[in-house]
Amino acid sequence: MVAKQAGQMAQQANEGRPDAVIRKVISQPAVKRAMPAIIALMTVVLFALLYSWSQVSPYRTVYPGLSEADRQTAFEALSSADFKAKIDIQTGELKVPSSRYHEARIYLASRGLPKSTVAGSIGSMSEEAAMTTSQFMEQVRYISAIEIELAASVAKISTIESARVHLASPKQSVFVRNREAAKASVVVSPFPGRVVSESQVQAIIHLIASSVPYLATENVSVVDQRGQLLTASEGSSSLLMSTEQMAHKQSMEDTYRNRIDAFLSPVVGIGNVRSEVDVQMDFTEIESTYEEYDGNDNGPHARSETLSLEQKGNSRASGIPGAASNVASVENADEGAPLSDNTVSSKTTRNYEMDRAIRHVKRQGGTVKRISVAVVINPPAVELSDGDVQEDSGNNAGFSDVEIERFSNLVKSLIGFDANRGDVVTIVSTRFEPPVVIEPISEPWYENSQITSLIKTSSIAIAFVALLFLVVKPAIGVYSSAATGNAAITAAEARNSYGIPPTQAYGEGTPNQPTGIGESATSVNTYDSKVNAVRSLVAEDSGRVANVLKKMIRNG
């Protein structure tokens, strides 16, 4: 008795377990009949989830550190443009799919976003102002804001990824003699594989110096992320000038070389011309001032002339005092009065001046002193009568002297040949191997995004089909067989309840004969026939069938 109670308690405990409950639910006839459809539906849902997961690309933050207003505006703009933007739940950052990251940034830039200023910049100082802020803190914030603005301006250069600016700006005195010069240092980080050129360094120096009062260009230092000083010191200024001169010389040589190759290649064939140009240049700067007199040989010119006339006399005064009485009249003069002595003197001064011209001439360096050109032409191969190709040898093999002279005249015209300058042009025709054409390396198939996407989709489709044929179809067959067995058991129990011998159940009668119970039992050879037989039994004696079902339910 105790053992029986213990067994019942153990059975009840096992029936309360989750797996036992699941097995009991699955063992229900209705669940068994619907199990194939459930398995097929779960398979379809599983592969739909796998396919959607394979198509989802990772998300990337569009602009880190956006203000709330800009974030809301940018989210609405991207959502309206179907960028599938979302807000990260943990960080609150605005994100878009990585495949459309650059497109989203360009789209937001076209809409003028973001609009808010960077934290700590000049535009945000008004938001941080307070009545209790000291003058020292205001000065510190102002210098920090200037540094942020200058760093943002430097980072706008195409080769620079990020930059930092440090300013040393002392407080200036009202007296000029007590003023101290400001200084600045810049740390730049170029993009991987990019180099900050010398012209860009000079542009950064002048940009910083022009933005800070009392800051000279020589007080600005530029350093890259590897700690290399990019600004030239005083001792390297001559070396810097030499580098610029060499770059100018190479540029002119490349220009002449490209001209020669462009004109001769269509004549002798592409790849059959080799040319080298050497340009000797004079970078001496000459500054002179001279004065030239009478450059046109016009002789002296009178600049000014002064004429002076002086007259003196001792005549006797008579008549009314005045101007007329001082003039002697011969007719009215007294014959007995003696005449006065008159003295007349004149003086003329003329100043002459020559034509004069003062000229101040400054001749820039970079004049061409001499050009030397060497050209090698690959002669055409001579085809023999038997089809073989004979390679000629010799200096002018394949080209006549007239053709070589014509090529020489063409090259002289291209470079502006000047015999007085000492220019030299040498053209030689000799055999040389053409350059080997290096074929571009094709992209591996496993790195092609389209191929990998196709492989991923095909793998999912193959796995789906394999699961259908290897798992779903056998499972459906098993549950269908179980349902058929249950129907057969029900029919057998019904036959036993009617007292029909088992030998009469099979092998006798014909299918689909609803004349009697024995005949209906013998027609149970297919699922539909079994169902029809059970329906016939229920219609003839529903009570006995109900008792059989109750017995089956009790037995589990």
Token readout for 26 is: 């699955």
Distance CA 108, CA 543 (A): 78
- Report which DSSP code applies to 396: B
Spell out the residues 6+ positions from residue 488 whose beta carbon is closer than 8 angstroms to its own: 524, 530
Residue range 122-231, CATH number: 3.30.300.30
What integer pLDDT is reported at residue 505 of this predicted model? 43
What integer pLDDT is reported at residue 395 of this predicted model? 43
Token readout for 441 is: 């390396």
Domain ranges in the chain? Answer: 57-110, 122-231, 273-294+352-434, 450-555
Distance CA 353, CA 298 (A): 11
**Residue with tokens 């007239």, as numbered in its chain:** 402
Spell out the residues 6+ positions from residue 61 whose beta carbon is closer than 8 angstroms to its own: 88, 93, 94, 95
Spell out the residues 6+ positions from residue 541 whose beta carbon is closer than 8 angstroms to its own: 498
Token readout for 449 is: 């995004």
Distance CA 190, CA 505 (A): 92
Peptide bond into 114 cis (omega under 30): yes
Token readout for 483 is: 């349902």
> Sign of torsion, CA 519 520 523 525?
negative
Helix (H, G, I), strand (E, B) or coil at 296: coil
What integer pLDDT is reported at residue 495 of this predicted model? 55
Between the alpha carbon of residue 164 and those of residues 119, 150, 188, 233, 393, the distances in Å are: 15, 8, 7, 21, 64
Task: Give strand ranges (E) for 441-541.
Answer: none
What integer pLDDT is reported at residue 206 of this predicted model? 93
What integer pLDDT is reported at residue 69 of this predicted model? 80
Report residues of the chain scoring pLDDT below 70.
1-20, 53-57, 115-131, 233-241, 295, 313-341, 381-398, 434-435, 475-526, 556
Q: Which CATH architecture has domain 57-110?
A: 2-Layer Sandwich (3.30)
Burial class for 355, CB neighbours closer than 10 Å (0-12, 13-18, 19+): middle
**pTM beyond 0.95, yes or no:** no
What integer pLDDT is reported at residue 327 of this predicted model? 57
CB-side neighbour CA atoms (13 Å) of 184: 28
Max intra-chain CA distance, the chain: 210
**Helices (H) and strands (E) in the chain — how many of each?**
14, 15
